[in-house]
Structure 1
Amino acid sequence: MTTDTSAEITDPSLAREAEPLVQRLVEDRAASKLAASDPTLWGPEAESEASVRLAWTTLHETSRGLLAEIDALRAELHDEGLSRVVLAGMGGSSLAPEVITATAGTQLVVLDTTDPGQVADALEGELDRTVVVVSSKSGTTVETDSHRRIFEQAFTEKGIDPARRMIVVTDPGSPLQELGEQAGYRRVFTADPNVGGRYSALSAFGLVPAGLAGADIAALLDDAAAAFPDLRSDDPANPAVRLAAALAAAHDNGAEKVVLADSGSGIVGFGDWVEQLIAESTGKSGLGLLPVPVENVEAPGFATAGQDATPVAIGPADGTASVSTHGPLGGLMLLWEFATALAGRLIGINPFDQPDVEAAKRAARGLLDGPAGGPAATPLTVDGAVEIHPNGEWLSAGVGTVAEALRALVNAAPRNGYLAVQAYLDRLDDASISVLRPELARRSGLQTTFGWGPRFLHSTGQYHKGGHQNGVFLQITGDPGSDMEVPGQPYTLGALQRAQALGDGQVLAQQHRPVLRLHLTDRAAGLVELVKAVQDLRAAG
C-alpha cells in the first residue's frame, strides 16, 4: 500500500472474523470491479440503479475541469466585494462542503434547516457581500427552494439584483437548472447525474461551495487520487476491503451500530458526513449499519461500546477502538465511499437506493396541505414549558412529567436497541441541546444518536425506517420566536418545520416504533427543564 490513507482492524477477534470476508472480496475482485463501475456487484435487483450511480469512483479525475472554473468565479466575486458564501442545501449537498470548509478553516454559512430563527440569522449577515449557492440534485428540494425564495426577496428588498447573487449546483435537466437559466442566475453548474447525493463530495456539489469559500479543493482531489490505486486494488491489504469486511463481520455478529469518534485526525465534522453515507447507503430491508457519531473517544457509547456496536476511530489508532481509519480528508472520503459500497455487497443490500426517504416527505406534504397555519396537535399533558406528545400507544396516560415520559421511552427500547434524538430547532442558537446525547447515552445504556431536523431526514432518516427496527425516537420541537413567510408558498418556515417533525413521527409510528415528541413552548425555559429531566433519570447500570 502506497498512501497515507489507511484502515486498521485493531481488535484481534474482529480481525479474525473479518478475514474470510476479506478473502471473499479479493477472490471476487470486488474492489477493481467497483473502480471500473461494474453494476453487477450487488445482484440483479440492484443492477439498474447501480448502473447510473458509480461515476463517483473517478471524480478525483473527472472533477479536475471544475477547478479553473471555480477559481475564476471566486476571483470575479471577490473583485466585486462578494466574499460571504451562503450554501442552501440538504444532505449530501451540504454535509461535504461543511466538513471541507470547517477542516480548511474557511467560512461557509450552511443553511440546511427550516428553523425560522436560523434562517433569519443568515439573512442578518452582510447581504451586500453575500452570494448564495443553491444546491439540489433533484432541483425540487423543498427546504432549498424555500431558502432560494427567501434570499431572492431579501436581495430585492435591498435593491440588489438577486440573479447576480445566485449560483446553482444541480443535475442536468432539473427544474432548478431551468429556473436558474431562465432567471439569468450568475452561474449554473450541472453535476454528473451518475453520482448519488451521498457519494458526491468530490463532485460539483462538494467542490463549488467549498472552493468559492476558499478551501483548497485541488489538494482534496490530489489526496483522493493518491489513495485511489490502493482502494481499487484486489490486494487483501486494501484499506477499503479491510474496513468493509470489518463492518460487515460485526454486522453479521449483531454489532450493527458503528460508533465514530475523532482521535486527532485534524478533520472537523467527519462523523457527520460519514453518518449520512453509511446510514442512507446500508439502512434498508431491515438490515444495515447505524452510525453513531460521538463527541470524542472518551464519550459514552465509544469506550463503553457493548456487543451491539463497533467503535471506530477517525484518526490515529486509539486503544479503545476496534477499527481506525487515518489519512487526509480527500483520501478518507474515497476510502469510506469504497468501503460502504463493498460492505453493502457483503451485507446483501443495494447501497445506492433510498426506498424509505420519500415516506416522511409525503407525510409532511400531506400535513402542509391541511388546515391553514400547518399541523397542530393536542399534548397528552404539559410539564412546565414542555408539552408531551407521544405518537402511538406505547405511553401510559398516567405519565405526568418529562422525566417519566423519557424513562418510559427508554424502557420501550428492545434489548440492544438504540435511542435517536431528533432536534427540530436552531442548531446555532439552540446548540446547547446537543449535550443531551452523551447524557442520555450514559443514563439509558443505549447507543444514542443526535440529529438536527430536518437535515437528518436526508441521511439517517432512511435507516430509521428501513434499517434494523430496534430504535426509539425522541423528537424535540419548539415554538419559534418569530416565524417567516416563504414567498410564493402558502406556508411559513415554522409550519414546514412542524410538518416535517410530525410527518416523520407519523411514519415511524406506523412502523410500530415508539416516538415521543417534546414541544418547548418557550425554548430557553423548555431546554433548561428538559436537561434537568434528563439529569433526573437514574443512571444506567
Structure 2
Amino acid sequence: MASYEPNPAFHATYHLGQYQAAIDQKIADLNQHDFTTRFWQKDATLWVQDAEAQQSIRSFMGWLDTPRVMLGRTSEITQFVHEVKQAGFQHVVVMGMGGSTMAPIVFKNCFHWGEGDLPLSILDTTDPGTVAELENELPLRHTLFIVASKSGTTAEPIAFGDYFYDKVKQLKGDAAGENFVAITDPGSKFVDQATKEGYRHIFLNFPEVGGRFSALTYFGLVPAACYGVNITALLHGAEGMMKDCGADGPVAGNPGLHLGAAIGYLATQGRDKLTLITPDTLSSLGLWLEQLLAESTGKHGKGILPVAGEPLGRPDEYGADRVFVYVGYDDFTDNDSLGKLQALEQAGHPVIIIRLKEPMDLGREFYRWEIAVAVAGIMLQINPFDQPNVQESKLATDRVMKAVTEQGHAPDAGQPAASQEGVRYYGDVTGKNGFAPDAAGVLRAFFGQARVGDYLDLQAYLHETDKVSAQLADFKRQVQDALRIATTSGYGPRFLHSTGQYHKGGPNTGLFVQFTADHPQDLPLPGRPYTFGTFENAQAQGDFETLLKYGRRALHIQLGANPEAGLQTVLAALKTALAQTEQGA
C-alpha cells in the first residue's frame, strides 16, 4: 500500500490505505479555509458553533506557546534545582493526579537518572499500601515533596501533602515547610495554605493551560529538571515542532495537522480504538497519551479510545474499529512488532509509525500530539479542552465521604450477585440468560452483553504490584482471545483523572470491571475522620455509581483482604465462563 511522509524531519510514516484520499481531502479543505492562521488565532469556530463553548475553547489554548514561554523560565527552574541540591535533599516526590503526574512518570521511565541528580518518585494513588511503601523507602528529612494541583482543590494531592507534611513536621517541627514545593494556578486556595505552612517555593502555572496539556509547563519541567533532564534542550525540540505546526505562519506538511486529521477522521469512520504500540523503554508514554486522547475526545457520545499495553496480535484478531500507532526509536529494531504491523497494514488496517532519535525528542512528541488532539477535535466537532464528566465522579465520591463522616461508614453495597472463596461480585447480571448465579455464571452473563466494537476496561482500585499487573494482563488476554474486543486497564483513582472522562462521556461501548479490596493495614489522614483506604473505597463506589448513572455495563468485584489470591480465584472463574461461552453451554 502507498505511504507518505508529511515531514521527514519528524519521522512519521502513514499507511492509511483506503482512507488516504479522504484524509488528504480533509487536510486540503482545512488549509483552503486558512486553518493555520485561524488555529493560532484561537478561532473557536473551527471546533464548535455554540458561543459558550467557543469561549471555553479560547480560555484553554494557552498551551500553544508554552515551549517559548518556558524557555524564558528555564533559568528559574535550574536555579531552584541547584538550591535544593545545595540544601542537601536526596530524593524528590511528585504528588498529584492526572496531568500533574503523567509527564513526570514519562520523564522518570524514559530518561536515565545520573549521578548528582535527584531520584524521583510519583504518588498518584490513595491506596494505603502504596503510600506506606513509599514512606518506608524515603529519607523523609531529606526528601523534597512537590504538591502539584492546578486548581489547588483536587482532593488527592492535598491529602498527600497533608499526610507527609505531618510526618516531616514530627521530625523538623516548624521547619517542615522547607521540604515542600507547590505547583498550582494563581489565586488557588492552595497558594494560601502553602504560604501559611512555609513552603520552600510556590510555582504559579498558567490558568489558560489545562492539566493534560501541561507537560511542557512547570508541572512537567520542575520534576524533570530535578531528575536531571536538560529541559532547555527538551523545550528547543518542542519549539521546533511548534514552528513546523505553523506557529510562525502557514507550513507544508504540518505534522500535528496530519496526525490529528488521520486519527480524527478514522474515528468518524468507526476506527475509534487507537492502539498504541511501543518498545518497553517508551511504555509509560501510553499513560500520558491515554489521558490526552481520552479526556480530550471522550464526550457527547464520541471519542478516541487509547488502547495501550495490549499485546499485538494477528490481523484476524481485530475488527474494523482499530488504528495502530507505533512509537519507537530509530536505533531500535522491534522486528516482531514491525512485522505484525506490516501484516496488519496488508490486511487493510490503518498503521502510523513514529520514530524518535532519543528520549530528548519527547518534547517535540508531546507537542505534536497536543496539536493532533486539538485537530482531532475539529474532525469530531467537539471541544477538546473541557472534561464535563470528570467532576461527576468527584461529586459522587463527595456524597460517599459525607456518609462516611456522618455515619462512620460508607453506604452499604447491597447483596452480591455471587460470592465464591471470599470474592464478592456486584452487578445487575444475576439470572441473565438463565445462567446460574455463581461466579462463572455472573461473569458469563456479564460478558454475554459484549457486542462488536465494544471494549473491556479493568478498573483496579488496588495496590499496584508486578503480580497484580500480570493478573490483570491475563484477564485482558483471556477476554480478547475469546471475544475479539479491545482491552484496557487502569489503576484507580489515577484513571479517574484521565480515561474516566471517556468512560462516561464517550460512546456506550465499554464493559467495565471494577476491582476493590480490603485494607487490613490502613493509614489515617491528618485532620480527617477517615483513612486513605476509606477514601480509595469511596472513590471506587462513587465511580461505579456514575457508570451506572450513564447506563454503562459495569461489574464490581470485591477481592477481600488478599487481592492477589482473590484475582487468582476470579481468573479461574473467568476461564470457566469464557469456555462455556465458546461451547455455547
TM-score of the pair, normalised by structure 2: 0.87
Are positions 1:113 and 2:125 aligned together? yes
How many residues align? The count is 538
- 134, 147, 150: which one aligns with 1:137: 150
Question: Where does residue 154 of structure 1 map in the other structure?
Answer: 167
- 21, 32, 43: which one aligns with 2:48: 43
Structure 1 residues 205, 374: CA separation in 2 closer, same or farther (over 3 Å shift)?
A: same
- Asked if structure 2 preserves the Cα contact closer than 8 Å seen for 1:7 and 1:326, the reply is yes
Are positions 1:258 and 2:274 aligned together? yes
Are positions 1:499 and 2:538 aligned together? yes
Structure 1 residues 496, 399: CA separation in 2 closer, same or farther (over 3 Å shift)?
A: farther
- What's the secondary structure of 1:368's corresponding residue? helix
- Cα displacement string for residues 502-526 of structure 1 (whole angstroms, at most 9, x for unaligned residues): 1111111122211101111122310
Residues in 1 aligned to 2:220 and 2:191: alpha-carbon distance in whole angstroms: 17
- 568, 572, 585: which one aligns with 1:528: 568
Are positions 1:54 and 2:82 aligned together? no
| Greater displacement, 347-356 / 520-529 | 520-529
Question: Where does residue 102 of structure 1 map in the other structure?
Answer: 109
- Asked if structure 2 preserves the Cα contact closer than 8 Å seen for 1:31 and 1:234, the reply is yes
Residues in 1 aligned to 2:536 and 2:366: alpha-carbon distance in whole angstroms: 31
Structure 1 residues 441, 221: CA separation in 2 closer, same or farther (over 3 Å shift)?
A: same
Q: How does 1:69-468 map to 2 (within 5 A)?
A: 69-106=76-113, 107-125=119-137, 126-159=139-172, 161-232=175-246, 234-235=250-251, 237-262=253-278, 266-296=281-311, 298=312, 304-315=317-328, 318-319=341-342, 320=344, 322-327=351-356, 328-370=361-403, 371-378=407-414, 379-390=416-427, 399-428=436-465, 430-435=468-473, 436-468=475-507
| Greater displacement, 158-167 / 26-35 | 26-35
- What's the secondary structure of 2:282's corresponding residue? coil
Residues in 2 aligned to 1:380 and 1:94: alpha-carbon distance in whole angstroms: 37
Mark the runs of 5 or more structure 1 residues left unpaired by the alignment: none
Please report how far the alpha carbon of residue 214 of structure 1 lies from its aligned counterpart in structure 2 after TM superposition.
2.2
Give the residue type in structure 2 aligned to 1:190: L
Residues in 2 aligned to 1:228 and 1:287: alpha-carbon distance in whole angstroms: 28
Mark the runs of 5 or more structure 2 residues left unpaired by the alignment: 1-5, 114-118, 330-337, 346-350
- Asked if structure 1 preserves the Cα contact closer than 8 Å seen for 2:265 and 2:376, the reply is no
Question: Where does residue 348 of structure 2 map in the other structure?
Answer: none
- What's the secondary structure of 2:172's corresponding residue? coil
Please report how far the alpha carbon of residue 315 of structure 1 lies from its aligned counterpart in structure 2 after TM superposition.
2.7
Please report how far the alpha carbon of residue 108 of structure 1 lies from its aligned counterpart in structure 2 after TM superposition.
2.0
- Asked if structure 2 preserves the Cα contact closer than 8 Å seen for 1:325 and 1:332, the reply is no
- Asked if structure 2 preserves the Cα contact closer than 8 Å seen for 1:198 and 1:276, the reply is yes
Structure 1 residues 497, 349: CA separation in 2 closer, same or farther (over 3 Å shift)?
A: same
- Asked if structure 2 preserves the Cα contact closer than 8 Å seen for 1:392 and 1:515, the reply is no
Residues in 1 aligned to 2:215 and 2:436: alpha-carbon distance in whole angstroms: 46
- What's the secondary structure of 1:483's corresponding residue? coil
Question: Where does residue 518 of structure 2 map in the other structure?
Answer: 479
Bigger-Rg structure (1/2): 2
Residues in 2 aligned to 1:153 and 1:396: alpha-carbon distance in whole angstroms: 54
| Greater displacement, 22-31 / 349-358 | 22-31
Question: Where does residue 20 of structure 2 map in the other structure?
Answer: 15
- Cα displacement string for residues 355-392 of structure 1 (whole angstroms, at most 9, x for unaligned residues): 11111111111011113133442322211131111158
- Asked if structure 1 preserves the Cα contact closer than 8 Å seen for 2:100 and 2:219, the reply is yes
- Asked if structure 2 preserves the Cα contact closer than 8 Å seen for 1:66 and 1:204, the reply is no
- Asked if structure 1 preserves the Cα contact closer than 8 Å seen for 2:417 and 2:429, the reply is no
Residues in 2 aligned to 1:395 and 1:340: alpha-carbon distance in whole angstroms: 40
Structure 1 residues 187, 15: CA separation in 2 closer, same or farther (over 3 Å shift)?
A: same
- Cα displacement string for residues 188-226 of structure 1 (whole angstroms, at most 9, x for unaligned residues): 000011101111110111111221222222221111112
Residues in 2 aligned to 1:204 and 1:532: alpha-carbon distance in whole angstroms: 46
Please report how far the alpha carbon of residue 399 of structure 1 lies from its aligned counterpart in structure 2 after TM superposition.
4.2
Structure 1 residues 255, 182: CA separation in 2 closer, same or farther (over 3 Å shift)?
A: same
Give the residue type in structure 2 aligned to 1:422: Q
Give the residue type in structure 1 aligned to 2:382: I
Please report how far the alpha carbon of residue 80 of structure 1 lies from its aligned counterpart in structure 2 after TM superposition.
2.6
- 512, 521, 527: which one aligns with 1:488: 527
Structure 1 residues 247, 393: CA separation in 2 closer, same or farther (over 3 Å shift)?
A: farther
- What's the secondary structure of 2:60's corresponding residue? coil
Residues in 1 aligned to 2:429 and 2:576: alpha-carbon distance in whole angstroms: 25
| Greater displacement, 73-82 / 392-401 | 392-401
- Asked if structure 2 preserves the Cα contact closer than 8 Å seen for 1:391 and 1:505, the reply is no
Structure 1 residues 395, 77: CA separation in 2 closer, same or farther (over 3 Å shift)?
A: farther
- Cα displacement string for residues 85-105 of structure 1 (whole angstroms, at most 9, x for unaligned residues): 111110000101110221112
Structure 1 residues 377, 202: CA separation in 2 closer, same or farther (over 3 Å shift)?
A: same
- Where is the helix percentage greater, Structure 1 or Structure 2? 2
Give the residue type in structure 1 aligned to 2:396: A
Structure 1 residues 65, 395: CA separation in 2 closer, same or farther (over 3 Å shift)?
A: farther
- Asked if structure 2 preserves the Cα contact closer than 8 Å seen for 1:85 and 1:212, the reply is yes
Give the residue type in structure 1 aligned to 2:256: A
Residues in 2 aligned to 1:449 and 1:474: alpha-carbon distance in whole angstroms: 11
Please report how far the alpha carbon of residue 4 of structure 1 lies from its aligned counterpart in structure 2 after TM superposition.
3.7
- What's the secondary structure of 2:451's corresponding residue? coil
- Asked if structure 2 preserves the Cα contact closer than 8 Å seen for 1:314 and 1:324, the reply is yes
Give the residue type in structure 2 aligned to 1:131: L
TM-score of the pair, normalised by structure 1: 0.94
Structure 1 residues 399, 79: CA separation in 2 closer, same or farther (over 3 Å shift)?
A: farther
Give the residue type in structure 1 aligned to 2:409: G
- 30, 41, 53: which one aligns with 2:35: 30
Please report how far the alpha carbon of residue 24 of structure 1 lies from its aligned counterpart in structure 2 after TM superposition.
1.9
Give the residue type in structure 1 aligned to 2:469: A
Give the residue type in structure 2 aligned to 1:151: F
